[in-house]
Amino acid sequence: MKRGFLVFLLLALAGCATSTQWVTFPISSGGKGISLDAWLKEHPLKADQAVSLEELSRGETASTHIVQIRKQEPLHIHENHDATAILLKGHGILWIGDRKLELRPGSIVTIPRGLPHSFTNQSQEPAVAYVVFNPAFDGKDFVPVTVSSQEAPAGKS
């Protein structure tokens, strides 16, 4: 009996290790979830695309998005939006202000409006993040930031 339970427990744990990753929409959209792998198959980053931002849901005060980054996004700010990002796939470096953060799957970061930031993917595949913008993102609030080599954080000039 104990041996059968142990085999069942090991099989259950092995199943958890290979389980599908799910992204859940906010309650305002019914709380439905999506399989991240299935979603990425349906919305691949195109060969000529460096970055894609696709909206999943929108409410009165926030919107949710999947962001894919092949190599690097340009240094930029959002003047009117705060962002919270959860890295789901890949790993890399986030420059936020003058700080350098190493991100891995499960890393969560809040980026206040007006703070320069840029992510550099160090993975072979595109990095994928789930991002919540407050207020709901208008698709226009992306302001490139140019800095001289004297102002640039180390490694950004």
- Break the chain into its structural domains and give their ranges: 47-144
pLDDT beyond 80 at 23: no
Could you say which DSSP state residue 47 is in? Answer: T
CA distance 94 to 120: 6
* Interval 33-62: pLDDT, tens: 778 888 899 999 999 999 999 998 899 999
The residue-averaged pLDDT of 121-145 equals 96
Closest CA to 81 of 147, 144, 146, 143: 143
- For domain 47-144, give the fold: Jelly Rolls (2.60.120)
Examine the pLDDT at 128 and tell me if it is beyond 90: yes
Structure confidence by residue, pLDDT tens digits, 62-79: 999 999 999 999 999 999
pLDDT higher at 157 or 26: 26
